[in-house]
Chains A and B, each alone.
Chain A
Amino acid sequence: MKEEVCVSESKHVVAAEKGDKTGVSRRTFLKGLGAIGPGTIFFSAGIARQAKGQYGPTYTDGLSAEQLTAMYTDMLKIRLWESKIKDLILTGGFRGVAHLYVGQEAIAVGVCNALRKDDYIASNHRGHGHLIAKGGDLGLMLAEITHKATGYCKGYGGSLHITDMSLGILGMDGIVGTAHLFGAGAAYGIKVKGTDQVAVSFGGDGSLQNSFFSSAANAAAAWKLPWIGVIENNAFQIWVRSSDVYGIQDLARRADGYGIEGRVVDGNDVLSVYNVAKYAAEKARAGGGPTIIECKTYRWYDHYGAGGAKRGVDGAFRLGYRSDRELRDWMAKDPIPRFRKFLVNEKVMTEQRADEIVAEVTQAVEDAVAFAKAQPVPKPEDGLLNVFAEGAVPLHKS
């Protein structure tokens, strides 16, 4: 990694994981900001300088109260919408598999808010959060997941394969790591077109070992593509603990081998993620090439489904491959109340307004459920459509 700042951030995260009290925590740092009214500039000049020293160029100071509130709302949307999926699984009203994103909301929201509407994201199997953060419709997503004919992908794809190209979403994908290639490919397309768009790919800690990530990163570095590779290090690749199959702890160190700037951020801190993503996006737009961002976080649920989970209770417990204590430690770093507390402290919103937002999002999720429920299922013969550009499968005989 080129910049010292990311190393110090990385150390901070590692220290925080270990419960080490040394070093200034992000929250303590932000607490020192003092009261700032909604809509005003976020960081004082002094604080901005300090932040620049610690995080590099600071972009959070450009965020309005409205944007901050929208980020909080988006994080809640992901949390509550996915909790509804969990309920559906637990009550038997769900078929197939869903890979829940809960606990990682700060990453999708931090990254996608640093992007423009016309920027691209390539998502993976754990991608509901990315889609919602990029503007995905809760009702159409739920209709797809409950295999309705009018869902985003007409019931062909389900939870693993949802997309909306109009929002710059290049699709979720069930093959681990391929999103990085699609993202870098899109970035190449952007370069050829000559626009100042950016393409982001999301992958977990398990997304680095097939050839995709390596090929994407190498191409992006060689041709200075406007690509941002986001590694969501949630500690597990499927059920294998990543530290059991990697020789390094900070995966962003790989970036150096490609000649790319690598950053490590606290993936449970939406502003940290936003700040680095915004920096990377601005750099890419200005022709500065790619960035690899590793976000340290933790998966609250099982690899897929709701094993070990209960209705009305967050998190999946008593899973054989991890301890409940480890999960609880990470749940204590829940990005949503953390951000809410910050916003209230900074007087961006009141507790009352924050509660109203919870109620609004809860209602939006209920509306999505009602919408999805009312949608028709596909007709069996529809399965022969969309195989080719011409539509149906050509008949072998008349």
Chain B
Amino acid sequence: MSEKFFWEAVRDALKEEMIRDPNVFLMGEDIAIYGGAYGATRGLYEEFGEERVRDTAISEAAIAGAATGAAMLGMRPVAEIMYADFLTLAMDQLVNTAAKNRYMFGGRTKVPLVLRTEGGAGRGIAAQHSQSTEAWFNHVPGLYLVMPATPYDAKGLLKTCIRDDNPILFVEHKMLYGTKGEVPDEEYLIPLGLADVKRAGKDVTVIAYSKMVLESLKAAEQLAEEGIDAEVVDLRSIKPLDVDTIVRSVRKTGRVICVSEGCKMNGVASELVSVIQEEAFDYLDAPVRRVCAADVPIPMSPVLEAAAVPSAEDVVQAAKDLLG
């Protein structure tokens, strides 16, 4: 094991898969010479050359469209959209082409595409560079959605995604790149659709993903000081969703908080609430709570930004309300 930054884990996953499979190539804005807006492709251009690490012009449609076309040929492109907000510009290629391709053609084609992007708030860069847009894509049939919270999960999941035959949206929270965690030196893969209980507890289940896992763990520590034992379930992949792990935890605690940095209305947390009431209604001792972003665009001012997205304190408060 060695301690790695989140960005290093992403880079190592890309590097290992590029060495393993010559069909893996990268394309995106500023991923080559600059090494990625958040540094996750640093050094790969130097190692693999411009054919496999390609800087593109500013055209998200071109990136997603070209990657989809290459994937149909059997290549395994890992394309990067610099901000999750800019996915709107690649939306048609991703939603209408990549995600539907296999289905429309009756299973005769496959699109083994990974689209990496950086999402989330925390840098004060306002409404067009800070959104959590995952709920839009969770609604799209044919598209997987993976959002890791730790370097370990990022590396293991990204490697799996690259080997997977489906189009996958892989969202990295921009405030996670500088976080550190233990990563094995030997190769490992993490299957999609397998949640991870990051902290076991018996009083309340906190279901989260991406950066909200870290906030939830922080909340669990605070709650522990007050005698509340919270279990934190990290979804890791939102689609496919690990319903078994969710239900197992709900059966144990009977109380659930679903945490998402996306807007509350029609968000990922809303979907979790639906699943829980369908699959584990009889085990619930209280209404399921959602802790989400306010239904506002992300504002720039730090005062407003902090108020717009959930924090550990919000999770603590929700847990106290449930157990109070």
Contact = CB atoms under 8 A, between A and B. Distances in A.
Interface string B18-57: 0000000000011011100100000000000000000111
A136 interface: no
Contacts, number: 134
A380 B300 contact: no
B124 interface: yes
A96 B300 contact: yes
Interface in B47-91: 55-62, 82, 85-86, 89
Contacts of B123: 95-97
A377 B34 CA distance: 35
Contact of A207 (B58, B296, B297): B58
B296 A383 contact: yes
Chain A interface mostly: loop
Contacts of A210: 58-61, 89
- Which of under 10, 10 to 19, 20 to 34, or 35 or more describes the interface residues of B? 35 or more
Given A240-B30, A246-B57, A387-B295, A380 B307 contact: yes
Contacts of A321: 33-34
Interface stretch (B126-134, B146-154, B248-256): B126-134
Nearest to B90: A210
Given A240-B29, A244-B55, A97 B295 contact: no
B317 to A, nearest CB: 15
A156 B61 contact: no
A59 B149 CA distance: 60
B286 interface: no
B206 to A, nearest CB: 21
Nearest to B305: A383
Chain B interface mostly: loop
Nearest to B302: A95
Contact of B125 (A97, A156, A246, A381): A97
A174 interface: yes
Given A97-B123, A238-B58, A240-B34, A175 B301 contact: no
A161 B300 CA distance: 9
Contact of A383 (B55, B61, B62, B308): B308
A9 interface: no
A21 interface: no
Interface in A163-182: 173-177
A171 to B, nearest CB: 11
A383 B297 CA distance: 9
A206 B58 contact: yes
B197 interface: no
Contacts of A384: 294, 296
B251 to A, nearest CB: 28
Nearest to B59: A209
B1 interface: no
A161 B126 contact: yes
B12 to A, nearest CB: 21
A157 B127 contact: yes
Contacts of A246: 57
B58 A176 contact: yes
A147 B304 CA distance: 9
A209 B306 CA distance: 35
B218 to A, nearest CB: 20
A155 B89 contact: no
B299 A383 contact: yes
Given A97-B129, A147-B302, A378-B304, 19 more contacts: A147-B304, A155-B304, A156-B297, A156-B301, A161-B300, A173-B128, A174-B85, A175-B86, A177-B58, A209-B57, A209-B58, A210-B59, A237-B57, A237-B58, A240-B30, A378-B301, A379-B303, A380-B306, A383-B294
Interface of B: 29-30, 32-34, 37, 55-62, 82, 85-86, 89, 123-129, 294-297, 299-304, 306-308
30 contacts: A95-B123, A95-B302, A96-B123, A96-B125, A97-B129, A155-B299, A155-B303, A155-B304, A157-B299, A158-B126, A161-B127, A174-B127, A174-B128, A174-B129, A175-B85, A175-B128, A206-B57, A206-B58, A209-B59, A209-B62, A210-B89, A237-B57, A238-B58, A238-B82, A320-B34, A321-B34, A383-B299, A383-B303, A387-B296, A387-B297
Nearest 9 A/B pairs, CB to CB: A158-B300, A155-B301, A96-B124, A147-B301, A174-B128, A380-B307, A239-B34, A209-B59, A383-B304
